[in-house]
């Protein structure tokens, strides 16, 4: 007899939830419409991801073959970003370079996120001598400029895009570890965590059910911010000659290839440099929005 009311009540609850979720979606869209910079940032990031995934949808030019008779052609309807000294289309090289740069960037952030989160979690949740030892090691890494550390790592491992990703990831681990530890220390002192212990919850259960889920928001926001930082680091190492060898397109390498001609033909360096700057600013704006959203 008690089953029928419960069965009938379920559709009513789900039906009443739908209008609320619809209103929430409309409200969210309204908030986005009032933030044109955030919308532009998302569009920029999505377009660049499209370049990396399907470059042929955005350009019909080859990133490798050029016309020597059209060297240093200025930006035009035929060549949106102009051409380089070998007559290669710069827009095509920038589009195809997105795959190389973003692949290294995402791999670097993934490495830093995975290792740094685990290190910070162990330090914050264990406490005592473990926390002290781990954080002193983290402080050592933080004391070394990240780009310098990445240069040392890639010099040891060898020059390649994969090694750049590993080097940038290693140089960013300490930042993730420190943020994760701070979040864990905040969460473990919350009343609901103490109540979970009081109700007989073991440390592994409390860790997985309460500490980890409630500690990740700030780390995810940092990951979004680190995407922009990692893009800049990967491009910087490519600019210095530590990355992909020519003629493979990579944003830092593209800027470096045009630096000797900036006085007379600035577009080979300026155009890929502008794309790089836009991506860094866009990811920073998105991470800032995410952080504000989850602090409400």
Calpha distance 181→132 (Å, rounded): 11
pLDDT in the model for residue 15: 46
Question: Where exactly are the structural domains of the chain?
Answer: 80-293
Contact between 104 and 234 under an 8 Å Cβ cutoff? The reply is yes
Strand partners, 89: 83
Q: Distances in Å between the alpha carbon of 126 and those of 74, 107, 133, 259? A: 60, 28, 11, 51
Supply the pLDDT for residue 25.
Answer: 66
Q: Confidence band (pLDDT; 50, 70, 90) for 29?
A: low
Closest CA to 273 of 85, 47, 93: 93
Mean pLDDT of all residues belonging to the chain: 86
Sign of CA dihedral 6, 12, 18, 19: negative
- Percentage with pLDDT > 70 across the chain: 88
Task: Write down the pLDDT at residue 11.
Answer: 46
The top-scoring range by mean pLDDT among 188-192, 194-198, 236-240 is 236-240
Please name the fold of domain 80-293: MetI-like fold (1.10.3720)
Least confidently predicted of 54-58, 172-176, 213-217: 213-217
What predicted TM-score, i.e. pTM, was given to this entire model? 0.82
**Mean of the pLDDT values across residues 151-158?**
90
Position 295 confidence tier, pLDDT thresholds 50, 70, 90? low
CA–CA distance, 26 with 14 (Å, rounded to integer):
19
Q: What is the pLDDT of residue 294?
A: 64
Q: Is 189 exposed, middle or buried (0-12, 13-18, 19+ CB in 10 A)?
A: exposed
Query: Which pLDDT does position 13 carry in this prediction?
Result: 47
CA–CA dist 287, 227 (Å, integer): 9
């Amino acid at each position: 007899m008690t089953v029928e009311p419960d069965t009938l009540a379920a559709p009513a609850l789900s039906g009443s939830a739908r209008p609320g979720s619809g209103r929430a979606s409309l409200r969210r869209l309204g908030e986005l419409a009032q933030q044109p910079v955030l919308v532009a940032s998302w569009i920029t990031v999505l377009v660049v991801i499209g370049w990396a995934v399907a470059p042929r949808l955005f350009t019909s030019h080859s990133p490798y073959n050029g016309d020597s008779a059209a060297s240093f052609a200025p930006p035009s309807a035929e060549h949106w970003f102009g051409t380089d000294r070998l007559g290669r289309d710069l827009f095509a090289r920038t589009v195809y370079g997105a795959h190389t740069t973003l692949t290294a960037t995402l791999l670097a952030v993934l490495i830093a996120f995975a290792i740094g989160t685990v290190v910070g979690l162990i330090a914050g949740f264990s406490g005592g001598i473990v926390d002290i030892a781990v954080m002193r090691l983290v402080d050592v890494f933080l004391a070394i400029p990240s780009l310098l550390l990445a240069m040392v790592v890639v010099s040891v491992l060898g020059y390649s895009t994969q090694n750049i990703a590993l080097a940038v990831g290693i140089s960013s681990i300490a930042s993730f570890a420190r943020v994760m530890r701070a979040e864990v220390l905040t969460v473990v002192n919350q009343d609901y965590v103490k109540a979970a212990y009081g109700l007989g919850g073991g440390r592994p259960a409390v860790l997985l059910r309460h500490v980890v889920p409630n500690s990740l928001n700030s780390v995810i926001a940092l990951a979004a911010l680190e995407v922009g930082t990692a893009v800049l680091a990967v491009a910087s190492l490519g600019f210095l000659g530590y990355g992909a060898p020519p003629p493979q397109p990579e944003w830092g390498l593209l800027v470096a290839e045009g630096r000797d001609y900036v006085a007379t033909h600035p577009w080979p360096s300026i155009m890929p440099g502008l794309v790089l700057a836009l991506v860094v600013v866009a990811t920073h704006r998105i991470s800032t929005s995410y952080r504000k959203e989850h602090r409400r």
